[in-house]
């Protein structure tokens, strides 16, 4: 029997529903249960693929090519369960599907309404096949209770609560308990009002997860329980912790998983094994040293824009027992050729993340050259690899006009849309007249690595599969000339058409990859490229 846990939020956004959902999944896993996590997003976009990183943060990509909310990255990192297209839905996709059916006549002339058609579609998504042997499905509802765009989702899960019954459905509500310094008090009223709003639409939460920056007095817990109609033990303190990977153990100590299992009358549940979480916490809080990585991008003022990259760097630190300090560096400031690169002095590694557009691109190329000439470990990811190739083409291979057609017409299209310089690979042919949500190489693709190359040594194999998200490719026609100049194209697509990785032959650690390895990194299984990159940074810092 599959049980469903619905996680909602109130009072303010950014309370951490995604982390709370992921931590809850990790705790159930630690007790031996199999879980799947899903995200319901109320915004009208079909998916986050065309949304600005400044508004939405990064776009997380699954193996099956779905562009999803970044919370799915948290789900994967905390549980190790690979997300799928069927684990993230938006209002836009729901309405798109319904309107397509209506246009085909599938509703036989019925009047299409939010209830039942939209709510039925949401329920169908929630109940869709979670996979074999799953015990719990955790569904996070985006936004906060009271948001007008979220009402169909709240109504849908209200209906599911009735249809499934308390033995199969549990509602957890995440709220804020602010402390008012002038009054010297923690205020429960925002939580009371949030729960009142939730109850007004027919949902009675069984568990309240209360975010706070200090312990909740027992008197306040009692007040919340009384006014919100829950058991005192169901008021769970979700206090700020030192690191997000401390959250599962902290929530367990406060009894979150115990309360969930009590609700489902699962008194015979095994005790959780949190050994690996405790080991991670020890490494994070007691490292053997620190390395500094300069992350050069154009959205560095929005940390969520590089969430998976930042987490993968942490995982690389865990593999090497060091703390990774990430120095966010705005690549746009380097677009001016006269702007000094002083801020890169002292970093032990340079990371060039993915991105789009000409703004900040020259700055990334200058950073790549800085790392190349100074023998500083450098890791180029997706767009970061493409710009590293252009920089090398200009200053190593003599192609002074080397560029990408993403910037416009060029005499030396070292990077471009594949249709611009080759034909025949039907799998990735693109129609540039289609919408921008459907013009990329998305999801997992295989690659073959050269035997004896540095990257093959790092992976420990010559056959890999990694997730992609990009429109442009490095032009195969320039490979031979660049190989002669010292750039090794150590990884190619199985048909030999698309360069997938590069490495510099006379550099201690300079690797570029067309894919996004950060999307598959886990705290328990750091991605080998990030582990190796931080190891090289550790050598650069003279910690070894």
Residue 31 sits in the same domain as residue 155 = yes
Phi/psi for 15 (5° steps) reads -80, -20
Residue 390 sits in the same domain as residue 498 = yes
Residue 366 sits in the same domain as residue 233 = no
Q: What is the mean pLDDT of residues 522-532?
A: 97
Residue 443 sits in the same domain as residue 335 = yes
Residue 149 assigned as binding residue: yes
Residue 240 assigned as binding residue: yes
Residue 175 assigned as binding residue: no
Residue 525 sits in the same domain as residue 429 = yes
Residue 157 sits in the same domain as residue 223 = yes
The C-alpha angle with vertex 211 and arms to 139 and 84, in degrees rounded to 5, equals 25
Q: What is the pTM of this model?
A: 0.93
Residue 146 assigned as binding residue: no
CATH code, domain carrying 80? 3.40.50.300
Among the candidates 259, 280, 301, a domain finishes at 280
- Residue range of the domain that includes 197: 3-280
Per-residue pLDDT at 427: 34
| Helices marked H in 300-453 | 307-320, 361-374, 383-395
Residue 98 sits in the same domain as residue 223 = yes
Dump pLDDT digits (tens) for 147-179. Answer: 999 999 999 999 999 999 999 999 999 999 999
Q: Cα 79 to the chain's mean position, in Å?
A: 13
CB-hemisphere CA count at 13 Å for 55?
7
Residue 271 sits in the same domain as residue 323 = no
Residue 210 sits in the same domain as residue 354 = no
Residue 223 assigned as binding residue: yes
Q: Give the whole-angstrom CA distance, residue 405 versus residue 417.
A: 7
Per-residue pLDDT at 147: 92
CB atoms within 10 A of CB 214: 11
Q: Which residues contact 443 (CB under 8 A, 6 or more apart)?
A: 61, 62, 63, 64, 65, 66, 467, 468
Q: Which residues contact 437 (CB under 8 A, 6 or more apart)?
A: 46, 47, 49, 50, 67
Residue 194 assigned as binding residue: no
Among the candidates 260, 280, 300, a domain finishes at 280
Share of the chain above pLDDT 90, in %: 86
Q: Give the whole-angstrom CA distance, residue 173 versus residue 209.
A: 6
Q: What is the mean pLDDT of residues 345-352?
A: 95
Residue 407 is encoded by which pair of tokens?
Answer: 């910037």
Q: Give the whole-angstrom CA distance, residue 297 versus residue 330.
A: 5
Q: What is the mean pLDDT of residues 280-284?
A: 95
Residue 116 sits in the same domain as residue 176 = yes
Residue 362 sits in the same domain as residue 250 = no
Residue 19 assigned as binding residue: yes
CATH code, domain carrying 467? 3.40.50.880
Confidence label for 337 from pLDDT (cuts 50, 70 and 90): confident
Confidence label for 436 from pLDDT (cuts 50, 70 and 90): very low
Per-residue pLDDT at 339: 86
Q: Give the whole-angstrom CA distance, residue 396 versus residue 381.
A: 20
Q: Which amino acids are annotated catalytic?
A: 382, 516, 518
Going by C-alpha positions, the residue among 246, 251, 311 that lies closest to residue 277 is: 246
Residue 32 assigned as binding residue: no
Residue 109 assigned as binding residue: no
Domain count, the chain: 2
Among the candidates 261, 280, 299, a domain finishes at 280
Dump pLDDT digits (tens) for 112-152. Answer: 999 999 999 999 999 999 999 999 999 999 999 999 999 99
Residue 139 sits in the same domain as residue 242 = yes
């Amino acid at each position: 029997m599959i049980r469903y846990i619905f996680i909602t939020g109130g009072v303010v956004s950014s309370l951490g529903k995604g982390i709370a959902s992921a931590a809850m999944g990790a705790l159930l896993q630690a007790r031996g249960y199999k879980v799947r996590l899903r995200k319901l997003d109320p915004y009208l976009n079909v998916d986050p693929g065309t949304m600005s990183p400044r508004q939405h943060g990064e776009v997380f990509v699954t193996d099956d090519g779905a562009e999803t909310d970044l919370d799915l990255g948290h789900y994967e990192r905390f549980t190790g369960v690979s997300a799928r297209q069927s684990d993230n839905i938006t209002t836009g996709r729901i309405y798109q599907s319904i309107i397509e059916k209506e246009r085909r006549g599938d509703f036989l002339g019925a009047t299409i309404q939010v209830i039942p058609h939209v709510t039925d579609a949401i329920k169908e998504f929630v109940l869709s096949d979670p996979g074999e042997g799953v015990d719990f499905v955790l569904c996070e509802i985006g936004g906060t209770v009271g948001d007008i765009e979220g009402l169909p989702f709240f109504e849908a899960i209200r209906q599911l609560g009735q249809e499934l019954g308390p033995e199969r459905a549990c509602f957890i509500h995440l709220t804020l308990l602010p402390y008012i310094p002038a009054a010297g008090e923690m205020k429960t009223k925002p939580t009371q009002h949030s729960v009142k709003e939730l109850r007004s639409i027919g949902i009675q939460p069984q568990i309240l997860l209360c975010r706070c920056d200090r312990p909740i007095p027992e008197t306040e817990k009692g007040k919340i329980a009384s006014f919100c109609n829950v058991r005192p033990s169901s008021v769970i303190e979700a206090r700020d912790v030192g690191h997000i990977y401390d959250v599962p153990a902290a929530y367990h100590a406060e009894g979150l998983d115990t309360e969930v299992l009590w609700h489902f009358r699962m008194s015979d549940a095994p005790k959780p094994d949190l050994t690996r979480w405790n080991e991670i916490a020890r490494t994070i809080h007691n490292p053997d040293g620190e390395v500094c990585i300069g992350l050069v991008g154009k959205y560095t003022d929005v940390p969520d824009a590089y969430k998976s990259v930042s987490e993968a760097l942490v995982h690389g630190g865990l593999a090497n027992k060091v703390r990774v300090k990430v120095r966010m560096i705005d690549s746009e400031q380097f677009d001016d050729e006269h702007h000094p690169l002083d801020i890169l002095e002292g970093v032990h590694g340079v990371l060039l993340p993915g991105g789009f557009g000409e703004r900040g691109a020259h700055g990334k190329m200058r950073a790549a050259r800085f790392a190349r000439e100074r023998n500083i470990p450098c890791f180029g990811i997706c767009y970061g690899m493409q710009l590293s190739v252009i920089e090398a083409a200009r200053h190593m291979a003599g192609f002074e006009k080397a560029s990408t057609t993403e910037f416009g017409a060029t005499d030396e299209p070292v990077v471009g849309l594949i249709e611009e310089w080759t034909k025949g690979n039907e799998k990735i042919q693109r129609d540039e007249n289609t919408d921008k949500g459907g013009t990329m190489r998305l999801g997992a693709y295989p690659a073959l690595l050269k035997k004896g190359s540095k990257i093959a040594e790092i992976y420990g194999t010559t056959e890999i599969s990694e997730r992609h998200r990009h429109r442009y490719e490095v032009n195969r026609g320039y490979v031979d000339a660049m190989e002669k100049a010292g750039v090794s194209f150590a990884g190619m697509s199985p048909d030999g058409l698309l360069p997938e990785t590069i490495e510099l032959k006379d550099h201690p650690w300079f690797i570029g990859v067309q894919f996004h390895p950060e999307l598959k990194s886990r705290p328990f299984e750091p991605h080998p490229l990030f582990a190796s990159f931080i190891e090289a940074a550790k050598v650069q810092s003279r910690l070894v």
